[in-house]
Amino acid sequence: MKKVCLSLISTLLLSSTAYAQGPELPAEEQKDFVSTTLPYPLDFVRNEINLQFDSNDRTFFEDYNAAIYELPEQARTIHDLDLKTYKKFLSFPITRRNKFYVFYGAYPSMQHALQEITPYGVLGMNNSALQRYASLSTSSRSNDIYLWSPDTPFWHSGYMLGDVSLPFRSYFIIHLSAVDTQHTNVEVIEDKPVVNMGKKLSVDTNGVVHRFAIEDVAPTASDREYMLYCINQFIERKIPSRRVFNCLSPEALENLKKREAERQ
């Protein structure tokens, strides 16, 4: 028993030493405001965002598991995996190589999270945009949208640990305010951004043992900018619903526009 305890203590000490270095974020990712003004009325913008992030539309994906996760061995669904591969696939956290649009929704049951963000609750956070948001009145948040995911996958963003890219995850607040009757300012704010520091034996305040070290971090600019890019793209292309569209990269979008121009 003594040997087991000594081994556990040694593991924890080694892990603590290995993770003494914190996650690093490039200077270009450290922005306070990430926003844009769209040439549409506020109600129109809000309705379009709710349409494209309709949480009910997740059922329309023909192959939802493949859309959400990077399935191994060319499998189309999780039912194609053998037991050993399936267990490996379920190991937490799942990290995607691409961005996050497809698995976030404007879930009605999660919209209460917006009013639960208070100045007291964000004290000490390294998130100036969220702290500023927390000071807004209830009425000024009435048109906002909270984007959340029950799948909570990670993706690789700007955070590094030495030369290793760290898996990152966040939820998003879409803050809408009218500039005038025909223009709407759209600001994207990250809520609960975290990184996975890798395998590390840790115990939370409830006494639950975890195999990964999940650390709170400051928000990233590129992910908020990408969310704005997707929202603008959805509206510009007049896509009828989420189930028939995903956010195209700038290169893919440019190629699509060329093909459409050639057909005309």
For every one of its 264 residues, what pLDDT tens digit does the chain have, with 9 covering 90 and above? 544 444 444 444 434 444 457 888 888 888 889 999 999 999 999 999 998 888 776 554 545 555 556 666 677 666 777 888 777 666 656 676 667 777 788 999 999 999 999 999 898 899 999 999 999 999 999 999 999 987 767 888 889 988 888 989 999 999 999 999 999 999 999 999 999 887 777 665 666 666 778 889 999 999 999 999 999 998 988 877 666 567 888 888 888 788 878 887
Would residue 188 count as lying in a domain? yes
Q: What is the DSSP letter of 148?
A: B
Would residue 69 count as lying in a domain? no
Would residue 18 count as lying in a domain? no
Would residue 181 count as lying in a domain? yes
Rounded Cα distance, 66 and 147, in Å: 21
Instruction: Give residue 130's domain range.
Output: 30-60+100-243
Would residue 77 count as lying in a domain? no
Would residue 94 count as lying in a domain? no
Cα dihedral angle (209, 211, 215, 220), rounded to 10 degrees? -140
Would residue 19 count as lying in a domain? no
Number of domains in the chain: 1
Q: Omega before 39 cis (within 30°)? A: no
Strands (E), the chain: 35-38, 95-96, 145-147, 154-161, 164-180, 183-203, 209-216
Half-sphere exposure for 120 (CA within 13 Å, toward CB): 2
What confidence score (pLDDT) does residue 5 get?
46
Would residue 81 count as lying in a domain? no
Question: Which residues touch 81 (CB under 8 Å, ≥6 apart)?
Answer: 71, 72, 73, 75, 89
